[in-house]
Each structure stands twice: as C-alpha cells, then as structure tokens.
Amino acid sequence: MTRCSAVSHPIRPFACWACLLAGLLAHGCGSVLPSQRLQNAVHLPVPTATQSLPSEERLSPQRRQEVYVLSARKLIPIAFDLQPDIKSSYQRFKSEAARYDFFVVSRDSLTPIFRTSNDFGESRGDETVTRDRGHTVEFAVEKLFFDTTRLDVGVGYQTDVEDDATGNHPFVSADLRYPLGASREKLERTSEEIFRRNELNDAQLDYIQEVRSRLQRALFRFHEVVRLEDTVQTLGEWKDDLVALRQRLEGSGVENVTSDLSRVDAEVTRVNSTLRNESGRYRVDVARLKSLCGIPLYARTEIVDEPFNPFVGATHQDLFRMSIDTDPEILTLRNEVRNAEVQLDLARRGQWDVALLLGGESALEGRGESDTASDWSINVGFEVSLVDPRVTGSLIRQSQANILRFSEAIAARENDIFVDTLEPIIRIETLGASRDELRANLPRFEQDYQSGIDAYFAGTLNIDDLLKRRETLWFQQDEIASLTRLVGANVAELCSATGKFFELLDANGKQAQQ
C-alpha cells in the first residue's frame, strides 16, 4: 500500500464518486428492454384492445343496436383488433418476451447494495494487549454486464478504534473483472442467449402465422357470406319470376293450363325450399363470420361487397420480391442466422479464457488519527485458463447446425412464397376472366328467358322448356357468384402469402393516428 499526503478538499472526490453511482443507477433503470430492441428489428402490428370483452357484454342481446359495416378491406383491421385467438397468440409472444427480458436483464443487472460491518480484534504480546475494532458503512452498486464483465463501485465511511486512538475517514472502492477475447463464460452466455432468443422468435413466428391464418379465414368466410347473400337474392328473384308467371298463366287461355299451373307450382315449391335452406345457411355463416372476426354475436352487420384487390397491375416477380423483402418470418430467420454466425465465431476463437482484474481503494482525509492523512491502493492482474476443447467443440457443432437449419428454413419459406404467390395470381387472372365473360353473357340468358315467355304464350314453347330457361339463367348467376367468391378467396390467400395483411394494418393504424 502506498501512502500519500492529505488532499485539501476530500469531499470533492467523494462527491464525484457519489455522482458516478447515481449516474450508473439512472442509466441502468432507464435502458430499453432487450425484447423491445428485437421487436423494432421486425415490425409487428399490435391489437389496439389487448383483452376481449367479457362474456356478459360480448354475448348480450343488448348489443343489437351496434352495427359493424364489413367490406373486405374494413374487415381486416376489425378482425385483427377483436379476434380472441390473435390476442391470445400476442399475449403468448409477450410472455416469451418477458421471459427473454428476465434472462438478459438478470445477467445485465444493476444492483444497489448497502453494507455495514463491525470488526473486533485483539493482539497479545509479552507485556501488551492491544484491542481494536472497526465500524464500516458503505453504499455500493454492483453492475453485471451480459458479456460476464463485473463491476463493483462503492463509497462509505469507516471508523477505526485502536486502544484510545480513533480515526474516521470516508473511502471509495472499485473492483472490475473484464473478460478478454472469447472467454468460456462469454461463450456459454452467448450460446444460452441464442437459445432463449430462438424461443422468443418461435413465439413471434407463431403470432405472425396466427394473424395470417385468422385474417385469411375471416376473408374466406366473408366472401362465402357475400356469395350466399347473392344466392339468396337471385333465388328470390327466381321465385318472384315464377309467381309472376303463374299469375299471368291463371288469366290466360292456354290449353292444359291446369297441368302447366301444377308444373309451375312444383317449381315454386322447389325454388322456395332451396331459398329457405340457403337463407338458413346465410344466417349461420354470418354468425360464423362474426365469431371469426371477434364481433359481439348479437351485433348487427352490414355486408358491403366492394372490389378488393390490392395487387392490380403487379407481376409475380414483383410480388415475390416484395414478399421476400418484407416477410417477417424470413427477417426473423435471417436474424437467427446472424446470431448463430456470431456464436460460431466466438466458439472458434474461444480456446483460452482470459480476464483482466482491476481493483482499487482510496481512504480520504478524515478526523482523529486520520486527520491530514489519506491512502490508496491499486491492484492489476490477469486470469488465464485453458478452455476444455469439448466445450468449444460442442458449441462449434451447435452453431454450424443452427446456421444450416435456419438457412434451410429460409430456403423453404422462399419456395413456399414463390408457389403461394404464383398460384393465386394465375387463379385470380383466369377465374376473373371467366367471371367477366359470364357477366357479359348474362343479358343473353335474361333475354332468352323473356323471349321464351313470349314464345310460350304464343304456343311455340312448352312449359318445361320455359322453366328450364329460367333455371339456366339462375345457374349462370350462381356461377358468377361462385367465381367471384373464388377470386376473393385467392386475393385473401395472396394477402397472407405476401404479408400484405401487415402492410394494410400498418396503413390503417397510420390513418387512425391522423
């Protein structure tokens, strides 16, 4: 230990150390959580309401006055914000994020410490007995860093009593252990961190898949409801045409009118039965749509069949590249590859465990025997050990396996995106063209039925052929409705494959903020 003369203002260095402790505390308590840094790297939409309505409200008939206007575009943010399974998956992701934060923060923590100690001692000589005691009060901060660095900084006050002599003085101390190179502890810590981060990434991917799946299913059901609504409408028009035909037939002088009236009545019954069945299916499918969207089941809905295709004019190559660049799953997998590469680099360099040890203590000028005196000490050292080759070997194999696993997962996802974007584009194009052709041809079938009525009352067409023409007209209308549903379903599938859902949700959130 080296002695030095007393300083003129001992409180100033003591105050500087106190400011350092306060700064460490402020920095440690105000840092960004690790999971938040990861989440910023892959943008994820968050439901505005993190908890569904309680059952007594969600299932209450009193909510009949609520009206939800649903189009294909408006349905997406509504289902995202209200769907319970999406909320459940998001909360699982948040739970894994909290677990990851606990793992990192507990190993990168800042801990205030209050220490107090009382020491008593006695030494005996041939003729003398010396008794001494010491009383120490210290406030310290222990800082653990995730790379296994450890820092302990403290300030305190010490009283030493030896027989009748008393010395009182403040003191400051610091100890640091800093790993150099790729230490074994750092390797193990990095390996465990990558494992924990992968668990968080898996929960994040599950959430992404849940959003895609639920929104796609909601859009599928929406287009099925639109189709059934159109079917109910066209069946109603068919029935009205048959009723009008019967009324006209009753006042006509057509031969065999009784037989023809019976034939028309049978057709009315058949169409009415189909209409009743389809109307029941429509009511059930509307309830299913509400359930898939998380809408209160007694609330009313207005279905708006507006054109929805955010991919108009885009080529397959454009959509494929856009999907690769923005797909959250690929972004997450790329991060995992980079993490595994870092782990591999550390493992290859981690043959030796080397750490720098630094320590120091300074007793400042005090009172009594410590008046006009102070002392300080500094120690420096190194700690070197050879890491068991089995440790580094296992980490190298683990890192290499993870790099290959995640790289292959990226390739598999790219293959899925290629097919999942190609098929819907082709089907939208082909099915849409067929639907447009049928729509353009529909007036011919309508005219064919109207001319058939004239021919029937002119006596040149029998009742069965006339009813067949009306049935053919309805089949054309129903085929148009079916093709429209298939086009919408493929647009929904393309939204899921390309990550368009997330872009639409992000755009909707920005509009809501404005």
Residue 184 has a CB neighbour count (10 Å cut-off) of: 21
Residues 275 and 407 in one domain: yes
Domain boundary (328, 363, 386) is at 386
pLDDT at 283: 94
- Which helix (H) or strand (E) element contains residue 277? helix 257-293
pLDDT at 237: 95
Tally of structural domains, the chain = 2
Residues 304 and 367 in one domain: no
pLDDT at 6: 37
C-alpha span between 399 and 195 (Å, rounded): 11
Residues 415 and 492 in one domain: yes
pLDDT at 173: 84
CA 248 to centroid of chain Cα atoms: 63
Which of 186, 170, 184, 112 has the alpha carbon at shortest distance from 136? 170
Residue 344 has a CB neighbour count (10 Å cut-off) of: 18
Domain boundary (386, 406, 436) is at 386
Residues 327 and 394 in one domain: yes
Residue 394's domain comprises 32-108+183-351+387-513
Residues 118 and 243 in one domain: no
C-alpha span between 167 and 64 (Å, rounded): 83
pLDDT at 450: 94
Q: Which CATH number covers residue 234? A: 1.20.1600.10
Residues 98 and 116 in one domain: no
pLDDT at 77: 92
**Ramachandran sector of residue 251 (left: φ over 0; alpha: ψ -120 to 50; beta: rest):** alpha
C-alpha span between 427 and 408 (Å, rounded): 29
Please tell me the pTM assigned to this model. Answer: 0.75
Residues 418 and 336 in one domain: yes
Residues 114 and 12 in one domain: yes
pLDDT at 245: 92
Residues 509 and 370 in one domain: no
Mean pLDDT, consecutive 10-residue segments, the chain of 514 residues? 38 52 50 67 71 63 79 92 90 90 82 84 74 83 80 83 75 82 69 81 86 93 95 95 91 76 94 96 94 87 90 87 80 82 76 77 69 76 77 81 91 89 91 94 95 90 93 95 94 87 75 48
Which of 490, 483, 471 has the alpha carbon at shortest distance from 436? 483
pLDDT at 243: 94
pLDDT at 34: 72
Q: Give the SS3 label for residue 360.
A: strand
Question: CB–CB of 365/169 below 8 Å?
Answer: yes
Domain boundary (331, 363, 386) is at 386
Residues 477 and 424 in one domain: yes
Residues 240 and 362 in one domain: no
pLDDT at 31: 58
Q: Which amino acid is at 158?
A: Q
Question: CB–CB of 272/243 below 8 Å?
Answer: no
Residues 431 and 397 in one domain: yes
